């Protein structure tokens, strides 16, 4: 490994409206190095990399990239094409793959002259196969990408960058969609590539993998760089402090004796359109005073499970009981009436109607309630009062209860949903990725509310991809894989990881 600098970010700043995403961030990257960019969700990691790649135009600052001879040259900003040509490749968190064309086509897209009537696919294929052999990354080249697994798609993304002669590779949360074991393989491949002279920035909020696989760590918080050190000198505790700022609030609740079952599912099957919403004859019981954690690699049936409990999908087979009462052909309205509170995975898409007011969103699940309407007409004052009360109780901040809900920040949208759900004192709470994308404070608030509900006697189904969150909140953990549930025998992280991957535990 040499120490020649291949990339310099100089004082980059970026704001979106009133929100400061990056404030005067400077970074350097050396040849053959793995630099971990560590930070909480919303710390500005992705924004920083999007500026590097030309997707965002910085408000201030500059970027220098080494050319093939190793000489640093200023990078014109705001042009992905130029960034690509300068050897910067980026693998986004949400893959930027077209699913209706093959991996080969995705990889060569944009590297051939558009107006030529012929393509040289054979040469392209030879080159890709060479890169695959060298990096250890492999993926089927001729299948439409829509039919590839998540891991394969990620490898196609990396191959795309390498095919473009990337000398600097940025990986945005590459392990979020992988099992711990798949992640290990990925890091081995990265090692292989850095040995060949590739430099890698990988973005993560997972302390463990950062410590295990990087050469150097830079920590971002609230858009600022708050620390930088060689991994060999890094101290887990102090980095965690840097990331989070204040002490992490202690969440885990005290032991409570589980009560009667509030949710019983037996033999429930859903034939979904894809693996992510398919369930195969699952049995599940959640008791009062209990938080049941659902662990699993994303896309293994979590959506299917959530959809059934939320009432969005009618299972083909099986029985669902809430509080001992069977729910025949469930609908969302029936589930709400039975006492199920639902916190949806995608709060913008399913949680709120952005164009309607905060107050209206707070009553959208209880339109039959005489407090909300009489004779089919909305009781506007009561709706208003309800919103004022809930905003205060749940600390929903924003431009007011009459403003469109889309104007709220992500954290406040989640608080709006929490207010709507918890105010009805549900017997069962379905929380699907409830802290995703929230800052530490808001995430802690969600955890506290769930624990309070548990103390009150509710049962909770907590679906999360964050194993740490599950380990700190859940009384019991069940692993979901290929639409089947497997009870985790204990709280051993390694073992749960293996179960997620489908290896014999």
Partner 1 sequence: MMDILNILLSESFWAASLRIATPLIFGVLGALICERAGVLNLGIEGIFVVGAMCGWMAVWLGAGLWGGVLVAALAGAFFGLLHAILTVPLGLSQHVSGLGITLFATSVSYYTYRTALPNVSSPPRIEPFQPLDLPVLSDLPFLGSVLFQQTALTWLALLLVALVWYVLNRTALGVAIKAVGDNPDSVDAQGLSVYGLRIGAIVVGSALMALGGAFLTMSAFDAFFFGMVNGRGWVCIALVIFASWRPGKALLGALLFGAFDALQVRLQTEVGALVPGQVFLMVPYVLSIIALVIAARSADYPRALLTPWFKGQR
Partner 2 sequence: MIRIELRQTQSRAFTLGVPILSAVIALGFAAIPLLAAGANPIAAYAEMFRGVFGSVFAFSEVLTRATPLIFTGLAAALAFRAKLWNIGAEGQLYLGAMAAVAIGSGVLDITGILLLPLIVLMGAAAGAAGMVAPTYLKTRFGADEVVTTLLLNFIILIFVQMMLEGPLQDPMGLGWPQSAPVLDQGMLPPLMERMRVHSGLVLALILAGLAQFMLARSVWGFKLRAVGENAAAARHAGINVNRSLFGVAILSGGLAGLAGVSEVAGLKGYLTADLSPGFGYTGIVVAMLAGLSPVGVVIAALFIASVFVGADSMSRAMGVSSFLADLVVSVSLLCVLVGGFVARYRIVRASTARAVS
Q: Does 332 bind partner 2 (CB under 8 A)?
A: yes
Distance, CA of 213 to CA of 497 (rounded, Å): 18
Among 68, 69, 355, 494, which residue interacts with partner 2 (rule: CB under 8 A)? Answer: 355
Distance, CA of 18 to CA of 274 (rounded, Å): 40
Cβ closest to partner 2, residue 463 vs residue 496: 463
Cβ closest to partner 2, residue 77 vs residue 501: 77
Among 19, 60, 98, 133, which residue interacts with partner 2 (rule: CB under 8 A)? Answer: 60
**Binding-site string for partner 2 from residue 365 to residue 384, where x marks contact by CB under 8 A and - marks none:** x-x----xx--xxx-x----
Distance, CA of 359 to CA of 357 (rounded, Å): 5
Q: Which two tokens stand for residue 112?
A: 């051939």
248 contact partners, CB below 8 Å, separation of at least 6: 240, 440
Which helix (H) or strand (E) element contains residue 236?
helix 236-244
Residue 1, contacted partner among partner 2, partner 1, none, CB below 5-8 A by kind: none
Distance, CA of 391 to CA of 408 (rounded, Å): 12
Residue 482, contacted partner among partner 2, partner 1, none, CB below 5-8 A by kind: none
* Distance set, CA 261 to CA 94, 174, 284, 463, 489 (Å): 38, 38, 10, 18, 20
Cβ closest to partner 2, residue 32 vs residue 341: 341
Judged by CB under 8 A, the chain residues 385 through 414 that form the site for partner 2 are: 399, 403, 407
Greatest distance between any 2 Cα atoms in the chain: 77
Q: Does 133 bind partner 2 (CB under 8 A)?
A: no
Nearest to 263 by CA among 309, 316, 317: 309
Distance, CA of 293 to CA of 433 (rounded, Å): 11
Q: Does 17 bind partner 2 (CB under 8 A)?
A: yes
Residue 246, contacted partner among partner 1, partner 2, none, CB below 5-8 A by kind: none
Min separation Cβ 91 and partner 1, Å:
9
Residues making contact with partner 1 (CB under 8 A)? 55-57, 80-81, 84-85, 90, 92, 94, 96-101, 105-106, 108-119, 160, 164
Residue appearing with tokens 């407090």: 371
Distance, CA of 351 to CA of 345 (rounded, Å): 8
C-alpha dihedral over 148, 151, 153, 157, to 10 degrees?
A: -160
Min separation Cβ 93 and partner 1, Å:
10
Among 32, 39, 58, 459, which residue interacts with partner 2 (rule: CB under 8 A)? Answer: 58
Residue 316, contacted partner among partner 2, partner 1, none, CB below 5-8 A by kind: none
Cβ closest to partner 2, residue 399 vs residue 441: 399
52 contact partners, CB below 8 Å, separation of at least 6: 7, 9, 63, 83, 88, 90, 170
Q: Does 201 bind partner 2 (CB under 8 A)?
A: no
Residue 197, contacted partner among partner 2, partner 1, none, CB below 5-8 A by kind: none
Question: Among the candidate windows 26-34, 98-106, 330-338, 434-442, which touches partner 2 by CB under 8 A?
Answer: 330-338
Cβ closest to partner 2, residue 10 vs residue 30: 10
* Distance set, CA 471 to CA 398, 464, 476 (Å): 32, 10, 9
Q: For 102, which DSSP code?
A: B
Question: Among the candidate windows 94-102, 240-248, 359-367, 466-474, which touches partner 2 by CB under 8 A?
Answer: 359-367
Distance, CA of 160 to CA of 34 (rounded, Å): 19
Q: Does 459 bind partner 2 (CB under 8 A)?
A: no
Residue 235: how many other CB atoms lie within 10 Å: 10
Nearest to 296 by CA among 146, 173, 432: 432
Nearest to 169 by CA among 192, 132, 204, 201: 201
Among 5, 15, 28, 59, which residue interacts with partner 2 (rule: CB under 8 A)? Answer: 59
Residue 118, contacted partner among partner 1, partner 2, none, CB below 5-8 A by kind: partner 1
Q: What is the size of the binding site for partner 2 (CB under 8 A)? A: 42
Cβ closest to partner 2, residue 158 vs residue 431: 431
- Enumerate binding residues for partner 2 (CB under 8 A): 17, 57-62, 74, 76-78, 310-312, 331-333, 335-336, 342, 344, 349-356, 360, 364-365, 367, 372-373, 376-378, 380, 399, 403, 407
């Amino acid at each position: 490994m040499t120490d020649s600098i291949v990339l310099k970010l100089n004082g980059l700043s970026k704001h979106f409206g009133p929100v400061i995403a990056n404030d005067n961030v400077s970074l350097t990257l050396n040849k053959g190095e793995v630099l971990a960019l560590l930070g909480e969700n919303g710390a500005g990691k992705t924004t920083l990399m999007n500026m590097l790649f030309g997707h965002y135009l910085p408000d201030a600052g500059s970027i220098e990239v080494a050319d093939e001879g190793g000489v640093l040259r200023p990078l014109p900003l705001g042009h992905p094409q130029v960034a690509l040509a300068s050897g910067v490749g980026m693998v986004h968190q949400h893959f930027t793959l077209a699913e209706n064309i093959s991996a080969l086509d995705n990889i060569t897209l944009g590297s051939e002259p558009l107006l030529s009537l012929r393509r040289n696919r054979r040469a392209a294929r030879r080159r890709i196969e060479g890169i695959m052999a060298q990096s250890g990354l492999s993926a089927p080249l001729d299948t439409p990408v829509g039919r590839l697994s998540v891991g394969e798609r990620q490898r196609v993304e990396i191959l795309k960058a390498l095919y473009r002669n990337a000398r600097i590779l940025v990986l945005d949360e590459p392990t979020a969609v992988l099992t711990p074991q798949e992640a290990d393989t990925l890091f081995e491949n990265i090692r292989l590539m850095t040995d060949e002279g590739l430099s890698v920035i990988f973005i993560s909020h997972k302390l463990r993998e950062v410590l295990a696989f990087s050469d150097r760590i830079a920590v971002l918080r609230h858009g600022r760089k708050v620390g930088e050190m060689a991994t060999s000198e890094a101290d887990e505790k102090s980095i965690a402090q840097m990331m989070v700022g204040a002490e992490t609030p202690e969440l885990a609740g005290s032991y409570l004796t589980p009560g009667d079952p509030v949710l019983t599912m037996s033999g429930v099957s859903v034939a979904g359109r894809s693996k992510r919403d398919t369930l195969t004859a699952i049995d599940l019981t959640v008791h009062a005073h209990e938080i049941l954690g659902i662990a699993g690699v994303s896309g293994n049936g979590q959506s299917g499970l959530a959809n059934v409990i939320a009432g969005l999908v009618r299972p083909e087979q099986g029985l669902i009981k809430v509080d001992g009462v069977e729910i025949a052909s469930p609908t969302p309205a029936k589930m709400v009436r039975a006492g199920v509170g639902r916190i949806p995975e995608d709060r913008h898409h399913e949680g709120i109607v952005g164009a309607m007011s905060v107050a209206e969103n707070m009553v959208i699940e209880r339109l039959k309630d005489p407090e909300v309407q009489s004779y089919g007409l909305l009781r506007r004052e009561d709706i208003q009062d309800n919103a004022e009360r809930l905003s205060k109780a749940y600390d929903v901040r924003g431009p007011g209860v009459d403003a469109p809900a889309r104007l709220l920040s992500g954290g406040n949208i989640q608080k709006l949903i929490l207010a709507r759900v918890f105010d009805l004192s549900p017997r069962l709470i379905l929380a699907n990725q409830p802290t995703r994308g929230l800052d530490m404070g808001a995430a802690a608030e969600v955890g506290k509310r769930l624990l309070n509900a548990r103390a009150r006697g509710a049962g909770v189904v907590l679906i999360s991809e964050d194993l740490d969150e599950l380990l700190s909140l859940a009384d019991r953990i069940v692993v979901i894989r290929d639409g089947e549930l497997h009870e985790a025998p204990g709280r051993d992280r390694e073992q749960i990881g293996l179960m997620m991957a489908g290896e014999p535990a």
